[in-house]
């Protein structure tokens, strides 16, 4: 069965960077876009961007341009999301999720989700 297993919780200082990993199994990792979504405490879902695991190509939400980097390592079927210059507003649970349709298409409909990784930014 499809599984997306994310890295554990992190506590970071303001101004630091965080890198969250998402290990995929049970399907062809390079066959589907991987998206990243975050959720601040008590708030709604927010799309951060997507990566094409086959080509490495990325598209980021305008809000995160210049601060987010999405990457992947196909040899270990793992996607990464790195967010820099952290502030308290970045305290959130970060999710990876795979697109429902095969590449090259991307419907931006997310059918498999990781368990989430809590990132806390605190002095």
Partner 1 sequence: QSALTQPASVSGSPGQSITISCTGTSSDVGGYNYVSWYQQHPGKAPKLMIYDVSNRPSGVSNRFSGSKSGNTASLTISGLQAEDEADYYCSSYTSRITLVFGTGTKVTVV
- By CB under 8 A, name the binding residues for partner 1: 35, 37, 44-47, 50, 59, 61-62, 95, 97, 100, 107-111, 113-116
Q: Closer to partner 1 by CB, 41 or 123: give it.
A: 41
Q: How far apart are CA 123 and CA 15, in angstroms?
A: 10
Q: Tell me which residue of 63, 35, 65 sits closest to 51, measured CA to CA.
A: 35
Q: Closer to partner 1 by CB, 29 or 64: give it.
A: 64
CA–centroid distance for 36 within its chain: 3
Q: Closer to partner 1 by CB, 17 or 43: give it.
A: 43
Q: Closer to partner 1 by CB, 49 or 83: give it.
A: 49
DSSP-based three-state secondary structure for 123 = coil
Q: How far is the CB of 16 from partner 1 (least distance, A)?
A: 25
Q: How far is the CB of 41 from partner 1 (least distance, A)?
A: 11
Q: How far is the CB of 81 from partner 1 (least distance, A)?
A: 15
Q: How far is the CB of 100 from partner 1 (least distance, A)?
A: 6
DSSP per-residue codes, 1-63:
--EEEE---EEE-TT--EEEEEEEESS-GGGS-EEEEEE-TT--EEEEEEE-TTT--EEE-GG
């Amino acid at each position: 069965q499809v599984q997306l297993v994310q890295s554990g919780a992190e506590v970071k200082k303001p101004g630091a960077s965080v890198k969250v990993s998402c290990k995929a199994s049970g399907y062809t990792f390079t066959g589907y876009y991987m998206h990243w979504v975050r959720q601040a405490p008590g708030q709604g879902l927010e799309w951060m961007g997507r990566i094409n695991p086959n080509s490495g190509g990325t598209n980021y939400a305008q809000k995160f341009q210049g601060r987010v980097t999405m990457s992947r390592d196909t040899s270990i079927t793992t996607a990464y999301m790195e967010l820099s210059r952290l502030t308290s507003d970045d305290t959130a649970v970060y999710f990876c999720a795979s697109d429902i349709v095969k590449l090259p298409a991307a419907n931006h409909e997310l059918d498999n989700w990781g368990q989430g990784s809590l990132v806390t930014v605190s002095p």
